[in-house]
Structure formats: C-alpha cells, structure tokens
Amino acid sequence: MREKYRTFLSMVAITSIMLVAVLIMYTFSVQSSLDTVQKDIKTNNLNRVQFVVNSLDQSLDRLNMLSISMETDNSIALLRSVDVMSSYEQVQLIQNIATKVNLQSLSEGWNNKISIYSILLKQWIISSEMGMKAPVFNSKNSGWHYDEASDKYYKYKVIPQTIIRLEFPRSNLEDIVENSHQGENESVFYNTNGNSITRKQANPVTSNIVKEIAAHLQPTSGSETVSVKGEKYIVNYVYSHQLGWYLIDFMPLDRALQPIRFSQFWFYASCIMLFIAGTTIIVVLFRKVQIPILALLKGVRLLKHGDFSYRIQRESSNEFDFLYGQFNDMAGQIEDLIEKVYKEKIVAREAVLKQLQAQINPHFLYNCLFFINNMTRLGNEEAVTAMTQNLAEYFRYTTRLDEPMTTLEKEMGIIRNYLKIQSLRMDRLSYEIEIPEELKTVPIPKLLIQPLVENSIIHGIEKKRDSGLIRISIKRIEHGLCIRIDDDGKGMSTDDILALKARIAKPPIDTLGCALWNISERLRIHDPVHSHLEFEQSPLGGLRVQLHWSLEPQPSENMDEL
C-alpha cells in the first residue's frame, strides 16, 4: 500500500510538516509575545503603584517633618511656661501660634490639619474641631490611626508640656484611589485588619480580588495573577510603610492581551483555511494524478504477470488519456505476439521445466530465510538446524534434473522435508503420511505429488486461522496406485471443483496455474486411460485430491509431443 501511494503520501507529509512547523513557530512566537507583554504590563503597573505609594509616603513624611520643625519653633517653646503668663499674653501667644500653624498647613499642599494641646493649660489651644477631647497618647503605638467618628487619620507628636496632633481626612486616600483609576485599571487601599478604601463606582469583583490576594501579600511589594469568576487578573500591590496600608491595583489580563488574542484568532483561522485549501489541492491531485498513475501501475503489473488481455477503460479528461491509449495499443501488440510465438512452444519438456520452476518459489525461500534469521536472533539453534537441513534436502532434490524418475519412498521423503519446513513456519500445521512397506520402491516421476501438498497448504491451510492437518495415504488399486491427499482447510464447493477441472483441462497462460495442469498433462502423457486427477470434498472438511498412477502405462497418441 505504501509503495502504491508513495507520491501522494509524500505530498501529504510535506504539506502537513510545513503547516505544523508554521503553527509551532507562530505559537511559540505568540506565547513569547504574550509573556513579554504580560511581564511589561506587570512592571509598568507596579511602577505606577510604587510611584503613587511613594508620593503618599512623601506627603506623610512632610507632615512628620512639619511636627519636628514646630518643635523647634520659639512660639511653641513658650508653651512650656504658658501657665505663668497673663491672660493677655496667653491670647497673643495662641494667636501667633495659630497663624504659623495655618501658614504651614496651607504650604503643605495636602489637605491636613494641625492641633496643639497644652498639658499645662489642659486644653486644646489650637483644634481642628470644636469640643475635642483631651488626647490619649500611648508611646507604644505612635503611628497613624483612624478615627471613625471624624473620618480622619491622626498621629500625635509629644514635646515638653505640649502634644501636637497631625491629621488628614480619609478623602485624601479616596482621591488617590480615584486618580489611580485608568482605563481597565482599578485601585484599592487595604490593610491587614480587613479594612479597604475603594472608588465610589468600584468594580464589582474588587472585594473578591482583595480576598484572593490577601493571603499572598508580601511585606513590601509584588505581583500576582489571580482568577475570579473564570477571568484572570494581573494584581500589583505596594506597601506604605508610613501609613501601614497596601495600595492594590488590578486589571483584566484578557482585555490587556485582547489585541494579541485577536491577531492569534485570525492567524489560526487563516491556518484552517490554508489547511482546507491544501486538502482540496491534495484531493484534486489524488483524483487527477494519483488515480491515473495507479491505473497505469495496475496495467503494468498485470502485464508483468501475464494478463495481456487487460485494457484500461477509464477516462481522465487530461493527458493521461493519451497514455491510456498508448498502453492499450502496447498490450494488444504484446498479446498478439504471445499468441503467435509462445503458445506454439508448449511441449511436454517445457511443461516439466515450468513445473520445476514453480516449485522453487522465491516467496517460499524468502520465508524460510526470514525464519532462519529470526530464530538465529532468538538463539533457537535447534530450529535453525532443522530448517537448514530440511531446506537443503528439499532444494537438492528439486534441482536435480538428471534423474526424472524416483521411488515412492524418496518422493515421500522430500514431501516430509517440505512439510517439516512448513510446520516450522506454522506451529499449527500437522501431517500424517501412510505408505505401505511394499510400495516404497515403486517408481514414479519426480515432483509429482509435492505440488498437490503445496496447494493444500497454500489454498487450504493458510487461509484458516486455527490448526490444520494434511493427510497423505497411498494404496494399490487395480491398475496401479491411488495417492490421496486430504486437508481440513478452506475447501471448495461443488461448483468450484467443476470450474477447477475445466481450468486445468486447458493450457495455462504463461506460468499462471501451471502446477495442476503440469501434473494432469504428465499423467495424460504417461497413461491417458488410467492416470488422472480427481477432486472432491474431503471428510476432514477441506479438499481431497486423488492421483491415479498406472504402473503399466498405455501408449499415448500424444507421445510425439515429447
């Protein structure tokens, strides 16, 4: 099959390899692009979030620096002795401090408030709200705190006899979140206590993403890819050391990679179209080129095997029609030549030679040699020795033409060699040979029985899957011998047996079917009255062939054919 379709299969293989190579290269390229783009998106978003958090920390640092600068201010320093001042002096000092505090708050550029509490006076001398309670300060927790009542973040700075309160509203962080929103990006402030600050019109999946990323947060910054409701998101986060909160930024990964996905989709669609187009071209080539070539090859093969009556009948509607016509003319000329020249040379001697050549079956020899090779590899020396000895005896006997006659015992010996060879090749083959002692020395022509045994194996035993049996029995009859070959093979119907008898009654074309015809012709030449072949169904289930051999041959009218 591979030899017949080698050209077609080569074209299919080349087309498939080219398409697969393009797909592999493009897939690798797209995957590399996707990885690079995804990495760049993570890096850019992380840098942007880092910049926002750094700006926040810088603003908080400036507030801290503001409290330190106020600590060294002369007016603030006078608060240490405010209790010994007159009421007028206290009012003047407080007004002076308030003016400076307001100026510093306005110069900060960030919405914030500064309140000052005098420990000596036990009151807020500058406050952001009316009725502020006295500060409760714990030195172990000096960071920023959130006051839910005022919705502000605050921090205390303690100096001698004075407490400075720094505060900024929650709206500062909300503005940062609002300003960080760009396109598909969404930002949220989050602390480890579970609190978060989001936009007013935040993405509905924000809370789910925060829950997913909360377990993966590192002390500084990082990037993660999380999946929420079947959609992947790139999440970047940065920790604010001043505030103690994380700024988390996320964006849908598929939407960011949508342009590349779009081009990838169209590329694969183009590949499918190319595959369909390639398949169509291959089918057209198969119908227009491969099938006509196979028709020519079939004709050449049949001519090679002697079927000179074959003609190509199909039409291709292309250049192959001319080739078909030339082939048919050539076949007709060869057939005429065979009929005029070679059919006139069929004589008894050629029949014997053809029969002998038929025995030296190259496939039989190849199978035996392959068996020897396989058994040698397996180390089965006994099988190799048995096959070699039987094969040598078989060919030594069949290739000697100087002795046309032999004894029945020697003929049975070569048949045993042949059956042993076949049984070595097929473990399922068994055989039985029954020959009376007094008939072993009876003379018969060489290779008269062996072709019948070979036919039983080839056309009977080999065509069945289970075990097979060949039984050979010889007995004396009135005019000579009856040699009976039974097998339990496929067998033949009554119509098939009649067709076989009609076929061997006519000379074969070249060497096709010459074995049975040769035997029948040799029997006819030896004794046309009492020597002949009979075919019938065997009791074993296969076919029975009976060879009648006359021990007292009658003169034949066709002896001059020799």
pLDDT at 353 over 60: no
187 pLDDT higher than 70: yes
Question: Which residue carries 């060294």 as its tokens?
Answer: 72
Q: What's the token pair of residue 310?
A: 């074959």
Segment 412-433 shows an average pLDDT of 87
Alpha carbon distance 121, 419 (integer Å): 129
CA 473 distance to own-chain centroid:
58
Report the side by side order of strands in the sheet with 246-252: 196-197, 186-190, 246-252, 231-239, 221-228
Section 303-308 average pLDDT: 80
Three-state SS for 402-459 is CCCEEEHHHHHHHHHHHHHHHHHHCCCEEEEEECCHHHCCCEEECCCCHHHHHHHHHH
Q: What is the pTM of this model?
A: 0.45
CA angle 441, 445, 450 (to 5 degrees): 95
Name the pairing type of β-strands 123-126 and 186-190.
Answer: unpaired
Report the C-alpha dihedral over residues 534, 390, 411, 493, rounded to 10 degrees: 0
**For residues 471 and 197, which has the higher predicted lDDT (pLDDT)?**
471
User: What's residue 5's pLDDT?
Assistant: 66
Half-sphere exposure of 466 (CA within 13 A, CB side): 4
User: Whole-angstrom Cα distance, residue 488 to residue 506?
Assistant: 28
* DSSP secondary structure, 519-559, as one string: HHHHHHHH-TTT-EEEEEE-TTSSEEEEEEEESSPPP-TTG
Residue 377 token pair: 């590899």
Mean pLDDT, range 360-383, rounded to an integer: 78
Task: Please compute the mean of the pLDDT values over residues 497-512 and round it to a whole number.
Answer: 75
Q: What was the pLDDT predicted at 504? A: 83
What was the pLDDT predicted at 555? 47
The whole-angstrom separation of Cα 516 and Cα 266 is: 69
* Residue appearing with tokens 């503005």: 175
Q: Are 455 and 463 in contact (CB under 8 A)?
A: no
Query: Out of 33-42, 327-336, 484-493, which region has the weakest mean confidence (pLDDT)?
Result: 33-42
pLDDT value at position 558?
42
Residue 486 pLDDT > 90:
yes
Highest mean pLDDT among 4-8, 31-35, 48-52, 483-487: 483-487
**Residue 483: what pLDDT?**
94
Taking the mean position of all CA atoms in its chain, how far away is CA 205?
Answer: 39
DSSP state of 156: E
CA distance 545 to 551: 19
Q: What is the dihedral of CA 267, 273, 278, 283, to 10 degrees?
A: 160
Model confidence at 3, pLDDT cuts 50, 70, 90, reads low
Residues 6+ apart with CB under 8 A from 42: 223, 234, 236
Amino acid identity of 18?
M
* DSSP conformation letters of 197-251: E--TT--TTHHHHHHHHHTT--SSEEEEEEEETTEEEEEEEEE-TTT--EEEEEE
State pLDDT tens for residues 17-29.
Answer: 887 887 788 777 7
- For the segment 404-428, the average pLDDT, to the nearest whole number, is 86
Q: How many CB atoms lie within 10 A of CB 521?
A: 20
- Compute the distance between CA of residue 41 and CA of residue 253 in angstroms, rounded to an integer: 9
318-325 contacts, C-beta under 8 A, 24 or more apart: 318/288, 318/292, 320/292, 320/295, 320/296, 323/292, 323/296, 324/292, 324/295, 324/296
Read off the tokens for 227: 């999946």
Give bridge partners of residue 167 from the DSSP assignment.
Answer: 113, 154
Q: What pLDDT sits at residue 402?
A: 64
Q: φ and ψ at 216, to 5 degrees?
A: -110, 5
167 phi, psi to nearest 5 deg: -150, 155
Residue 510 has pLDDT above 80, yes or no: no
Mean pLDDT of 174-198: 82
pLDDT level of residue 473 (50, 70, 90 thresholds): very high
Give the residue with greater pLDDT, 543 vs 130.
543
Least confident of 57-61, 364-368, 445-449: 364-368
- Percent of the residues in the chain that have a pLDDT greater than 70, as a whole number: 87
Assign 188 to helix, strand or coil.
strand
Check if the beta carbon of residue 243 is closer than 8 Å to that of residue 260: no
Q: How confident is the model at residue 138 (pLDDT cuts 50, 70, 90)?
A: low
Q: Is the pLDDT of residue 377 over 80?
A: yes
Rounded to the nearest integer, the mean pLDDT of the chain is: 80
Helices (H) and strands (E) in the chain, counts: 16, 17
pLDDT over 70 at 111, yes or no: yes
Give CA–CA dist 224/133, Å, rounded.
44
Q: Tell me, what DSSP letter sits at residue 347? A: -
Q: Under 8 Å CB-to-CB from 166, ≥6 apart: which residues?
A: 63, 64, 66, 67, 112, 113, 114, 154, 155, 156, 157
Which tokens belong to 481?
């011998």
Residue 468, H or E segment:
strand 468-476
Higher pLDDT, 380 or 554: 380
Helix axes 348-359, 514-526, angle to 10 degrees: 140
Predicted local distance difference test score (pLDDT) of residue 346 = 45
pLDDT tens readout for residues 525-548: 778 888 889 999 999 888 999 999
